[in-house]
Structure 1
Amino acid sequence: MTVTRFAPSPSGRLHLGHAFSAALGHHRARDAGGKFRLRIEDLDPSRCKPEFVEGIYEDLAWLGLDWDEPVLVQSRRTPAYQAALDSLKARGLAYACFCTRADIAQSLTAPHGDAATSYPGTCRGLPDDPARRASTPHSWRLDSARALEFAGLPSWTEEDGRTFAAKASDIGDAILARKDAPASYHLSCVIDDAASGVTMVVRGGDLRPSTPIQRLLQALLGLPEPAYLHHALIAHEDGRRLAKRDLAPTLAAMREAGADGPALAADVLAGKLPLGFGFSDA
């Protein structure tokens, strides 16, 4: 059975790009007689607001998109993330990182730093220290070298038949959890996709770079491998990608202006976009 999902973060109102991704995932599931799941990615309390959760429900209903219950809400899933993190720690695949964002930024601009590396590995292999052991890490990171020894370099095939083979540089010592968040995007995504039985991940092409680390985590945690469909992005006519932070025109504003939701969903699926918008490769 085909199971897809739409997984927005309630940090603002949905825009046309969200409508395309949701409609595409809904279409792929319903056309195959499968299920369409909804996930609320609300692990960042500083950005996520209850009113935006309600807005997600309103916008999807207006588009004519229904979803199969239950809705998965990430803020209620802390025990599942902790169990996965504990499993990785127990096998020596995760380590405590005491670096702040400022520390990392400074190390990457130093003469010996590699600006192309997301994290220089400062805390990897630190000797045991009682004071450090008693302090709270800023984050927990994947020991990518050990992880790759255990599982090897991952690969995946897109729905269009293209096969991608990851390189070690695609992965790095990714953050798995922070002291202010029980799980990173990467860890929560693979845990929740498996919990919801997702068989096809439908998401924007801008998230394709996330796939190597997520495929590696799936292998390490014994989770099933879904198919992937990374779609083109909807952008402004001048090429700028739609983003909440840039106050992209919202679905709520389109609704208030008199647009027909189901017709809009059908149009974007057919590649017919409102004036001022176009598709952009990620």
Structure 2
Amino acid sequence: MSLSLVSIALLIFEVASLHQWHSKRQSPFFSRHENSLKHAARRDNGRRSKSAHYEKTGGVPMHPENALHSSFVTDSQSSHVAILTEPDCCHDEARMTETLHALKRAVETKKVDLVSIRTAPSEDESGDAVDFQERVTKLAKDTISLRDELKLDFSLVVNDNVEAAIASNADGVHVKEHNVDTIPSIREKLKQSKRKNDGKDKSIVVGTSCHSVGSGLASWRKFRPDYLFVGTCFLTQSHPEKVLPEHLEGPSLPGQVKRAIHGEMTAYKSG
């Protein structure tokens, strides 16, 4: 089984005093790094491998009103880890099985806080859209079953697929940057679905990405995403169109986004 079935994202958090935003809770800022499953299995006593291949770095605060029960919001953790599946994870049953096995190896470390089902139909997809949607939903359901079986507490999001997230009862959705204006409607759909299923307004996780300080601030101001991936900071296969260092936003961008958002939070608190 290939160790590249999933990507490991190291999410480094900073704590900010948010006053009216949410008392006694943290304002986590993510720093996303691509790693291999091998490095996840080798982590010991909370230490991170320094030989990882870094893909992106980024950060934004959790949405205070929608993270009340999220495993992201803790009083003691200083860093989080996310797993992103490879886009071909639902191309066929065999690939789904391989992906689930890889996910199991990762989450068994008890270091994982977020799993993101990232999918894309293959260019030579022989089945129809319904078949693909059913496979995405099944992988999400199987991941939830794995979480229950192992008695773990990571959150599960499905990339840009509200229907699969609802059908599988996932915790939320990762929204593409160009669809960021759909965050409010997606959040409401997820809330309605969870209320309908068990009568409770459970925690929902809705995040997005940004590639500049301006877009990060705009997302935060208007839509309060629960997290924000910022990049691209380093050359990576997930962005094959960026083949030269000058094509990248660079590793300084996440800090710039973080400082800009922290500045607005401070201004809000002072006001």
Q: Same fold (TM over 0.5)?
A: no
Greater relative contact order (Cα < 8 A, sep 6+): 1
Task: Calculate the TM-score normalised by the size of structure 1.
Answer: 0.30
User: Quick check: which has more Rg, 1 or 2?
Assistant: 1
